[in-house]
Amino acid sequence: MPTCCWPGKQGKAVEPDQARICSLENEHLGSLPHRLTSGLASCCLKRSANLMSRRTKKELPLKIALMLGIIVLGAHTMAIAAADTLAPDGLDAAERGVAVGPSAKGANVLRAQVLLGRAHFSSGEIDGAYGNNLRQAIAGFQKARQLSPTGVIDAATWAALESDRAPILSTYTITAADAIGPFATIPPKMADKAKLSALGYANVAEALGEKFHTSPVLLKLLNPGKDLSRTGEQITAPNLEAAGALPKAATIVVARADGTLTLLDASGQAVGQFPATTGSAHDPLPIGNWKVQDIVKNPVYRYNPKLFWDAKASDAKARIAGGPNNPVGVVWIGLSKAHYGIHGTPEPSTIGKTQSHGCIRLTNWDASAVAQAVGPGTPVILQN
């Protein structure tokens, strides 16, 4: 059972991912969320003051209603435009051939992330923006296909990826189970987490994001005007069902420098690769050869502050119920080195961007995929 790993203090080192999300929003929505809360609000206040000095109070509500209507209409129109620019299945041949590399965003990046994920070379959370996790996924796929591992999708890499001809996006109908939950706010303190009977999803957007391996922000951009919490609502989401089965792995290799976990078959060929958080300067990855000891799904987490250098003196031991927001996520793959393992996380957007207490942390969906491909006794190589 997991005892030691904990994915850092909540809210720490999230800025890089937040910046990428904001950048994506800004490109497609013209910084609309910021404008609505600052520029447009300021404009409305100034206009209202001017109207008050020149118009009667009887006229003012109509003017305000008109301005608010324009703002809402503009937001809706721009959101639809954003969804249109994130339509990878509508790209023509020339657009599909555009290289994907540093600073790239939009439909082709989304297309690349979905195709790589279906080929089992995961970039983690699908967010429509090029970053280090995507670069590593591209390089890993290229190496496995005997292509130059540049981390940039060129014509040859597109050709290899496009052997998968299934649509990139598909339509999904929200079920009653999706909409109902149950959902609950997850407290940050271990003592408060211990009071919950389960560590489920906080909201429907988080649950659907995990179902489709997608940032909740991107999922909302793909579905302007849609109510993700309404049973029967049809939404657009990455088409993950087209993925083939992940082959059984003979060996697990974790590379600290690359921030990746790779599955090898008996011949040493990579059959899957996943972004990973792999320790820290204070709690480094335990380099060496180990084995899978056990696999526990939906694990209970036992917090022991004595195992953490950054625990507070007032912290006490705690038993945390299972669930996707459990500190070690939905699966624990224990290693032959005591207290160390491969596991999921409640914060998929932080994978590869934060530090751990020595364990190997993956997104919940990637950890689940790895758990299906390995078993007790599988060799695990942890290397720099």
Strand partners, 288: 382
Average pLDDT for 39-61: 45
Q: Tokens in use for 80?
A: 């639809």
Query: Given CA atoms 68, 69, 70, 71 in this order, what sign does their dihedral have?
Result: positive
SS3 287: coil
> Tell me, what's the pLDDT at 43?
42
Give the model's pLDDT for residue 33. Answer: 35
In 30-152, where does DSSP find H-type helix? 32-37, 39-54, 60-85, 93-96, 107-118, 132-144
Mean pLDDT for all residues in the chain: 83
- pLDDT score recorded for residue 357: 60
Long-range contacts of 104-108 (CB under 8 A, 24+ apart): 104/129, 104/130, 105/23, 105/24, 105/27, 105/129, 105/130, 106/27, 106/28
The pLDDT of residue 5 is above 70: no
Single-letter code of the amino acid located at 302: R
Average pLDDT score over residue span 75-81: 40
Q: Are the CB atoms for 127 and 20 separated by under 8 Å? A: yes
Tens digits of residue pLDDT in 308-349: 766 787 888 899 999 999 999 999 999 999 989 999 999 999
Give the model's pLDDT for residue 39.
Answer: 40
Model confidence at 174: pLDDT above 60: yes
State pLDDT tens for residues 240-279.
999 999 999 999 999 999 999 999 999 999 999 999 999 7
pTM of the shown model: 0.79
Residue 282 has pLDDT above 80, yes or no: no
Q: pLDDT digits over 299-315, tens only?
A: 999 988 887 766 787 88
The answer, yes or no, to whether residue 45 has pLDDT greater than 60, is: no
Question: Following DSSP, what letter does each residue of 71-103 receive, concatenated?
Answer: HHHHHHHHHHHHHHHT-GGG--HHHHTS-B-TT
